[in-house]
């Protein structure tokens, strides 16, 4: 393995890297959706609720 190597096509490795790429995109979209859905509720929970602020 030592020495400079030119990358060759390896479907199994490409699938592994593709899996990581797909996971990253799914997580970006999924956590983004969760943030929009639950973000405000979570903030209220963390900050002690809207009532406490009044």
Q: How far is the CB of 37 from other proteins (least distance, A)?
A: 13
What is each CA distance from 54 to 3, 39, 42, 48, in whole angstroms? 67, 20, 18, 11
CB 29 within 8 A of CB 23: no
Q: Is residue 51 part of the contact set for other proteins (CB under 8 A)?
A: no
Pick one of 21, 33, 38, 40: the residue that binds other proteins (CB under 8 A).
21
Q: Is residue 53 part of the contact set for other proteins (CB under 8 A)?
A: yes
Using the minimum distance from each CB to other proteins, give the nearer residue, 28 or 37: 28
Q: Is residue 43 part of the contact set for other proteins (CB under 8 A)?
A: yes
């Amino acid at each position: 393995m030592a020495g400079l190597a030119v990358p060759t096509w390896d479907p199994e490795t490409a699938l592994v890297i593709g899996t990581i790429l797909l996971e990253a995109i799914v997580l970006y979209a999924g956590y983004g959706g969760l943030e929009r859905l639950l973000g405000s509720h979570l903030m209220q929970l963390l900050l002690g609720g809207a009532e406490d602020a009044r």
